[in-house]
Amino acid sequence: MSNAKFKLSNLYLIAVFIVLYAPIAYLMIYSFNSGGTMQGFEGFTLEHYSEVLQDTRLLIIVLNTFIIALLSAAIATIIGVFGAIAIHFLRSKSKTTLLTLNNVLIVSPDVIIGASFLILFTIVGIQLGFTSVLLSHIAFSIPIVVVMVLPKLQEMNNSLIDAARDLGASPWHVISRVILPYIKPGIYAGFFMALTYSLDDFAVTFFVTGNGYSTLAVEIYSRARQGVSLSINALSTLIFLFTIVLVIGYYYIERRNQRPANGGAQG
C-alpha cells in the first residue's frame, strides 16, 4: 500500500471515530459543568460526581441494571446455544420456519415487544418488577444469541460429529466435547451482544417494570424531564470509562493468553 493512500485511509477512520465519540465527549465535558445544564459551560466542578457517589438509590439502580444484564445474557446464552444446536440439526423446511420465528423479536420495534410482554405478564399474573424485567430481557436476548451462534455451527464440519459418534460418544459428549468447544467464539459473541442489548434497552423495560424497580435507562428517561440532570452525565462518564478500561484490558489479556496457546479447540 502506498504511503499517501495509507494516510488517506487512516484519516477516514479517524474521522469516523471522531464523529462516533463526539457526543460522548460532549456528555463527558458537560459532566464537569457547574452551570447545571448542558447549555453554556460555566465553570469546572466535581459536584455532580460527588452527587452520584452519595446517591444510594442511583447506586442500587446501577447494580440492578448490571444484575439484569449479566443474568439475562447468561441465561439467554444457555437457552439460545442449545436452541441453535437443535435448529442446526433440523430438516431444512422446519428450520426455515423456526428461523423466521426466531428473527421476529430481533426486528420487531421495542414498543410492540414491550406492550405485548406487558399483556402477557398480566394474563399470566406475574408481578411487575425484577422478575418481569428479567424474563423480558432473557426473551429478547435469546434470538440474538441464536443468530450469533448459528453461523459457527454451519462452519463446523459435520464429519467431526460423525467421527465422534462412530467412536461411541454419547450425544451429551458430542455436544460438550465437540460442538461447544468449536462454537465457543460464537457463544462469547452472543453473550456479548445480549449484554449490549440488555444494557441499552429502554422501551421494553419501561413497559414491564413497576413497584419502584428501575434500570438505568428508565431512570435516565424519567429524570430527563428537566433536561438531563448532569449527575446522569457524571454517572455515564464513570460507567463509560470503566467499560473502556475493561474492554482494553480484556483485549490485551486475551492476546497474551492466545499467543502461547496458539488457538486450538481445547475445552
Q: Can you name the residues that pair with 33 across neighbouring β-strands?
A: 44
3, 23, 43, 166: residue in contact with another protein (rule CB under 8 A)? 23
Q: What minimum distance in Å lies between the beta carbon of 50 and another protein?
A: 16
User: According to DSSP H, which parts of 89-175 are helical?
Assistant: 92-107, 110-124, 130-155, 158-166, 171-173
225, 260, 263, 264: residue in contact with another protein (rule CB under 8 A)? 225
> Does 50 engage in binding with another protein (CB under 8 A)?
no
Give the separation between CA 70 and CA 1, rounded to whole angstroms: 43
> Does 222 engage in binding with another protein (CB under 8 A)?
yes
> Does 119 engage in binding with another protein (CB under 8 A)?
yes
Nearer to another protein, 46 or 224 (CB): 224
Amino acid letter, 229: S
Neighbouring CB atoms inside 10 A of 173's CB total 14
> Does 258 engage in binding with another protein (CB under 8 A)?
no
> Does 220 engage in binding with another protein (CB under 8 A)?
yes
DSSP sequence for 174-195: IIIIIIHHHHHHHHHHHHHHHH
What is the DSSP code (8-state) at residue 225? G
Give the separation between CA 259 and CA 262, rounded to whole angstroms: 5
Give, as ranges, the residues between 185 and 204 that touch another protein (CB under 8 A).
Answer: 187, 193, 196-197, 199-200, 202
> Does 105 engage in binding with another protein (CB under 8 A)?
yes
Let me know how long the chain is: 267
- How many residues belong to the site for another protein (CB under 8 A)? 126
Give, as ranges, the residues between 70 and 89 that touch another protein (CB under 8 A).
Answer: 70-71, 73-74, 77-80, 82-86, 89
Residue window 129-158: x/- pattern of binding to another protein, with contact defined by CB under 8 A:
---x-----xxx-x-x-xxxxxx-xx----
| CA distance from start to end of the chain | 40
Amino acid letter, 221: Y
Burial string for 96-117 (b: 16+ CB within 10 Å, else e) reads eeeeeebeeeeeeeeeebbeeb
> Does 57 engage in binding with another protein (CB under 8 A)?
yes
Give the separation between CA 32 and CA 50, rounded to whole angstroms: 11
Amino acid letter, 188: Y
Residue window 228-247: x/- pattern of binding to another protein, with contact defined by CB under 8 A:
x---xx--x---x--xx--x
What is the DSSP code (8-state) at residue 35? T
Q: What minimum distance in Å lies between the beta carbon of 46 and another protein?
A: 19
Place of cell 424485567: 133
> Does 63 engage in binding with another protein (CB under 8 A)?
yes
> Does 20 engage in binding with another protein (CB under 8 A)?
yes
58, 133, 174, 204: residue in contact with another protein (rule CB under 8 A)? 174
> Does 100 engage in binding with another protein (CB under 8 A)?
yes
> Does 31 engage in binding with another protein (CB under 8 A)?
no
Residue 119 in grid coordinates: 399483556
CA distances from 199 to 55, 157, 266 (A): 20, 35, 31
Q: What minimum distance in Å lies between the beta carbon of 145 and another protein?
A: 10
Q: What minimum distance in Å lies between the beta carbon of 157 and another protein?
A: 15
> Does 96 engage in binding with another protein (CB under 8 A)?
yes
